[in-house]
Structure 1
Amino acid sequence: MESGSRRRSRDRLRVVPREASLMGPSSRFESTERRMSRHKAAHIDLGEFFTGGLSTSSFRKLTKAIKEEIAEGRVESAARAIRTAVQPDLDLQSSLNLHRLIGRLGDAAPEPARRIRVAVVSSYTADPITQLIELNLFARDVRAEVYRADYGVLRQEILDPSSGLYSFKPDYLLLTPSWRDIVHLPKPGDGGERARELIRTEVADWLRLWEIAHERLGCEVIQDTFVQPAWRALGNRELQDPVSLGGTIRRLNIALADEAPSYVVLHDTEHLSASTGHWSWSDTRFFHVAKLPCAPASQVDYSHSIASLVTAKLGLSKKCLVLDLDNTLWGGVIGDDGLEGIRLGQGEAEGEAFVAFQEYVKRLKDRGVVLAVCSANDEKNAKEAFEKHPGMVLTLEDISCFVANWGSKADNIRTIAETLSLGLDSFVFFDDDAMQRSLVRRHVPEVEVPEVPSDPADYVRTLDKHRYFQVVSISAEDLVRTESYKANAKRIRLRESTETMDDFLASLEMRERTIPIGPMEVERSAQLINRSNQFNLTTRRRTLSELKAIIEDESWLTRCVFLTDRFGDNGLISVLLAHRDGAVLEIDTWVMSCRVLRRGVELHLWNCLVGEARRMGIERIVAEYLPTSKNGLVQDHYRKLGLDLVESDDTGRTKWECRVKDAPTPIASHHLQSVAS
């Protein structure tokens, strides 16, 4: 469905002067050409394989290129290509081929963002699910060591303290039961109250299994919901009859979701089955022959869904959706066709498809996904549709950062990242133009770039199937994230307009509130610990259940900081965890949102810590810095606070100490006003 206006858009992009296409919108940025000339790791041109979709022949060429990269020792390039090739709709054999290529990387494979241990305890045959989970986690820069329990011993593995599960000690426990594992099913003749009683009993049994596993292991639990069989013995009465199998499974899933504790995530496998088609999903031939949880054609998507939940728990879900405009949010090119000529709105199929896509994007924004615009357009023309077209669902208020010019989209995305204070690896770029997708893949490889179909009616499915923005919990701060990032952009403009940093901080009119982490703050604190990379002294991650145990342990000192200013409420922006051992207080975790760096919050929190240490009779505070590829910003943090370096090694790890009686406080914390707790 390539219109004349779409072709004109691409023609326009071709005639942009080469200098304009390579230079960013600001002199602060190195040109993409110069940057890539020194980016020695990027040998495979991914655009060559992904333009127009990854076909069978393109996949073969790509795997050949990956093998050549590995043979030449360019494992970083090979690993990036493998990650990009992993797709939820890739066929099973191709996915397993990619998994084998991971093995070829060997010990030279790049260090991942996270290493975790995952146990799969199933009522089904776990192969090849375990390999596919490893592959999909690898695609998200997570290396997983996977334990696979024997077939059909789900309850036994959890109840037996000597089982291999407890020797393995996983971080995440995946439970994949079948509807055949439901013990308390109503029988014909049972009334509604008896059916409800049996569901309550069944829920209690699963709650007890979760509790046992969690008490013994301290791990997070992910459990599949029960999938209804495709057949319905009661026909259309399955929905209403209190003893029907389908109705019982549906009500049981809802009851489990309602009763699940914070350390349990219900994986909505029933939805996967329904969206695929129950008969196709649970092809009984494969269950009877091999005891597979679903048909081979569905196993890749199933594993992709599981991996998305794990990465969401790790805080690695994407945060920002960057959108093109012409032929992405509406049909046509507004600069050529004018406001009246673009196709958007009810009454015409293509226009309705764009409305549906905007409605979906709006729902993402409403639950916390940050939206940005990156368009090859004049800004005035680009904003006109938002301001005047009656068919628009999205408004300018929904967009946290709006960039429309004729510069390189790769450099414009870098500008957006700087404006929002977000890492490039938290971005997804959605653009109908294959050339622009290829350029962004090549020049900003950290950004996820899905292939976009020609028909806008498929846009929602295309974006949704990748599960980039998977979520396992939603906090109050998630619901106002757009306002938070828009306010941050205003702060950046203010900083650029003031002469000194002191003037800037004074003009912000900042107010802080520092309190121990309590039940109301624990979820957001866990989010911040797991998502923060730059201001993170040790990069120790904590699950929600681990953090809950810490705040209940009297040997731990916890603090979290809330910050507001003239532009709005920044919410909970810093967390500190310290453990007491006699007269020594050791800082275990110290993180802060990158949106509030260099505002004096870290000085204020140090003052609070020293003051509390004196009150507790602490003699020494010790701390360490563990370097990563992203936290170089804070390598001298403790030196600047006045602590003494007592230990270091060739990895960059440093250990620091100060005697509380000699601690240099109060350090000026700039223009922070404390408010009552």
Structure 2
Amino acid sequence: MKLTQFCCLLNPELNSRDVKKFSFEINTLKSIKLSIERTLPFEYIAKFMPPFLSLWDKEGIFSYSDYDTSLAQISREDDIDVYIFWMDWRLYMENMSPEQCAIWFSERLIKTKSNCSILVNNWPSFWQLDEKQYSANLSKRGWIYQFNVQLERLKQEFKQLEIIDLDLLSSQIGMSSYDSRNDKVSNYPFSNQLTLQVARYISLNLLPAMLEPKLKAIVVDLDNTLYSGVLGEDGNDGIHLTEEHIQLQKVLKNLKENGILLAISSKNNEMDVLELFEKRTDFPLQRNDFTFIEANWSSKAENIKIMAKKFNFDVSSMLFIDDNPAELMHVVSDLPAIHLLLADATGKETVHRLINYPRLYSLKKDEMAEQRQQDILANQKRQVLQANAVDGNAYLNSLQMQIGIYENEKGHMQRIFELGQKTNQFNLALKRLTKGQMEEKFISQDYKIYSITLSDILSYSGIIGVFICHINGVTARFEEILFSCRALGRKVEDAALHSILKKLQKEHIQFVQFDTVRGPRNKPALDWIQSVTLNYVENLVDIKNRLEAKLLDYPAEVIEKHE
């Protein structure tokens, strides 16, 4: 895909001609099934979605309900990935209060499949010019203000629900968001301009956030990317920080504070780069915002390989931003799985391209963000300890590890869901459970969800693993086992499973089986399970004995915990 073609779909200004002429290979895309429950035409949105969806290798398959203001017949088809409730809320203003309408809608949400993500639109608070003649309490704006708040509150009850924020998108466009002629002809009140923005917002922000693991790291160039100018030629004081570059750095800092790791790969002298951050205190981004800095004259592809090894995750979880198309092409030729973004020298377009880039949008605040960065830095110290240790057990003993095991701890559910969405390497069955599916398993008497925490002398890593276990008589079936790449290499998975099996044995479990799926990057998990079990279903005692042999003289303390 051409970088310029990619960028045209991410830029702030969209036009239907550019979107329609965008080309992509349909036979390489994975289908997602979208069930449209509607009282408003969605076809106007759907026709613009394919190019945007193709940017993260997806194709939308749409099924449409009838136009039914009662929403009496909500689809329950097996293959639905996401429900989209596309509602003309004007139809309900006269007969219901905002509170009554929200309660009525919540009763319809209960009828959806519990394992599916759900999107619903709110309503623009200002869509008619004559609304300016009245205060909110005398106009329809008052109803809309209150209803939008009620709709947002439903997210507390329905964890799989997210809002298509028409109020926000229309406020950015203004009165040109609306098309009264189109409304009169087809009962669709939105302009082409707003329709394009909504199609992009659903396709590039909301759907990837619901269905795909978030990107883990952004690697940025410096010159003419984070600022205007060339450090080696213009010096610290000569490079120019435009308002657009300030905004770009703020966006990157926000991403970092919500879980995206930042790194630098730049063809500059390292001492010059460190001096730059020391002297340019006007930069929103400072030295400690970057986990790693590779400033040298090596190829940027080699630098990114080094950083990926330090991060301990695959380059497919990384985005590289550079203003030089040739550099981007060189990197992707060496690292085909990496994601690319072309920066512009002014910074203006870069901000919007970054905001619209798939798999960066956040639905929840990442409470583990700072902890994750500190743990990755601590891993560098662990590598030094390991290199200087006499043997493997001496290294592990020096870490003074403590492994915590929690059973059915509901407070861990959000983190467990995030692990399932993010983890690629140590993901045994690749199930990618939705929030609804996860909640069902926590509630069920037939499931045991074990969350694993880890701490050592260098850092507290937090929740780094999960075992999802279905109990059926005397058999325990592990439907999913996940571990963060930050925890690998210390036998934590062996120690945790051994402790869990001892607990299950006391509960009269005799047999154990493990679900596995071979994916493009989960070989570490598959190699591990082959060292643990020899058969699809095996006697629990045999597996436990095998683990005990692997854990001979293992020094970590394993503790059952409760919160």
TM-score by shorter chain over 0.5: yes
Q: Could you tell me whether the CA contact under 8 Å between 1:132 and 1:300 is conserved in 2? A: yes
Aligned partners of 1:181 and 1:482: how far apart in 2? 49
1:69-97 deviation per Cα after TM superposition (whole angstroms, max 9, x unaligned): xxxxxxxxxxxxxx888646664355445
Shift of 1:526: 0.9
Assess, with a 3 A threshold, how the Cα gap between structure 1 residues 207 and 281 changes in structure 2: closer, same or farther: same
Name the counterpart of 1:284.
180
1:259 pairs with 2:139: no
Q: Could you tell me whether the CA contact under 8 Å between 1:537 and 1:591 is conserved in 2? A: yes
Assess, with a 3 A threshold, how the Cα gap between structure 1 residues 248 and 491 changes in structure 2: closer, same or farther: farther
RMSD over aligned CA atoms reads 2.7
Assess, with a 3 A threshold, how the Cα gap between structure 1 residues 634 and 363 changes in structure 2: closer, same or farther: closer
Aligned partners of 1:675 and 1:664: how far apart in 2? 17
1:141 pairs with 2:57: yes
Look up the equivalent residue of 1:204 and give its one-letter code: I
Aligned partners of 1:84 and 1:355: how far apart in 2? 21
Name the counterpart of 1:294.
190
Secondary structure of residue in 2 paired with 1:488: helix
Q: Could you tell me whether the CA contact under 8 Å between 2:115 and 2:435 is conserved in 1? A: no
Name the counterpart of 2:103.
204
Q: Could you tell me whether the CA contact under 8 Å between 1:515 and 1:560 is conserved in 2? A: yes
1:213 pairs with 2:105: no
Aligned partners of 2:116 and 2:215: how far apart in 1? 24
Q: Could you tell me whether the CA contact under 8 Å between 1:514 and 1:559 is conserved in 2? A: yes
Name the counterpart of 2:503.
612
Aligned partners of 1:302 and 1:600: how far apart in 2? 47
1:172 pairs with 2:57: no
User: Number of residue pairs matched?
Assistant: 553
Q: After the TM superposition, which of the residue ranges 322-331 and 363-372 deviates more from structure 2?
A: 322-331
Aligned partners of 2:7 and 2:469: how far apart in 1? 39
Q: Could you tell me whether the CA contact under 8 Å between 1:184 and 1:202 is conserved in 2? A: no
Look up the equivalent residue of 2:415 and give its one-letter code: R
Secondary structure of residue in 2 paired with 1:223: strand
1:500-551 deviation per Cα after TM superposition (whole angstroms, max 9, x unaligned): 4434323322211111132210111011112211111111121112111111
| Structure 1 counterpart of 2:91, from 161, 181, 192 | 181
Name the counterpart of 1:644.
534
Name the counterpart of 1:386.
277
| Structure 2 counterpart of 1:564, from 440, 443, 455 | 455
Q: Could you tell me whether the CA contact under 8 Å between 1:401 and 1:420 is conserved in 2? A: no
Aligned partners of 1:511 and 1:458: how far apart in 2? 47
1:292-319 deviation per Cα after TM superposition (whole angstroms, max 9, x unaligned): 4633344343222212312212242322
Shift of 1:184: 5.2
Secondary structure of residue in 2 paired with 1:425: helix
State the TM-score, normalizing by the size of structure 2. 0.90
Q: Could you tell me whether the CA contact under 8 Å between 2:7 and 2:353 is conserved in 1? A: no
Look up the equivalent residue of 1:658 and give its one-letter code: E
Shift of 1:429: 1.8
Assess, with a 3 A threshold, how the Cα gap between structure 1 residues 210 and 512 changes in structure 2: closer, same or farther: same
Shift of 1:572: 0.8
Secondary structure of residue in 2 paired with 1:233: helix
Name the counterpart of 1:673.
557
Aligned partners of 1:148 and 1:493: how far apart in 2? 58
Aligned partners of 1:522 and 1:596: how far apart in 2? 19
1:445 pairs with 2:336: yes
Name the counterpart of 1:342.
239
Name the counterpart of 1:120.
36
Assess, with a 3 A threshold, how the Cα gap between structure 1 residues 84 and 274 changes in structure 2: closer, same or farther: closer
Name the counterpart of 1:72.
none
| Structure 2 counterpart of 1:272, from 165, 169, 179 | 169
Aligned partners of 1:663 and 1:167: how far apart in 2? 40
Aligned partners of 1:429 and 1:444: how far apart in 2? 11
Secondary structure of residue in 2 paired with 1:573: strand
Secondary structure of residue in 1 paired with 2:169: helix
Assess, with a 3 A threshold, how the Cα gap between structure 1 residues 300 and 102 changes in structure 2: closer, same or farther: farther
Assess, with a 3 A threshold, how the Cα gap between structure 1 residues 282 and 382 changes in structure 2: closer, same or farther: same
Aligned partners of 1:505 and 1:604: how far apart in 2? 13
State the TM-score, normalizing by the size of structure 1. 0.76
Aligned partners of 1:137 and 1:328: how far apart in 2? 27
Name the counterpart of 2:68.
153
Q: Could you tell me whether the CA contact under 8 Å between 1:125 and 1:293 is conserved in 2? A: no
Flag structure 2 segments of 5+ consecutive residues without an equivalent.
none
Aligned partners of 2:513 and 2:491: how far apart in 1? 21
1:602 pairs with 2:512: no
Secondary structure of residue in 1 paired with 2:163: strand
1:224 pairs with 2:121: yes
Assess, with a 3 A threshold, how the Cα gap between structure 1 residues 266 and 480 changes in structure 2: closer, same or farther: farther
Shift of 1:407: 1.1
Name the counterpart of 2:318.
427
| Structure 1 counterpart of 2:539, from 659, 663, 668 | 659
Secondary structure of residue in 1 paired with 2:340: coil
Q: Identity of aligned pairs, percent?
A: 21
Show the 5 A alignment for 1:491-570: 491-496=382-387, 498=389, 500-570=391-461
Assess, with a 3 A threshold, how the Cα gap between structure 1 residues 294 and 234 changes in structure 2: closer, same or farther: closer
1:140-172 deviation per Cα after TM superposition (whole angstroms, max 9, x unaligned): 23454331223x32543xx23xx6x22465231
Secondary structure of residue in 2 paired with 1:316: coil
Shift of 1:119: 0.7
Look up the equivalent residue of 1:672 and give its one-letter code: A
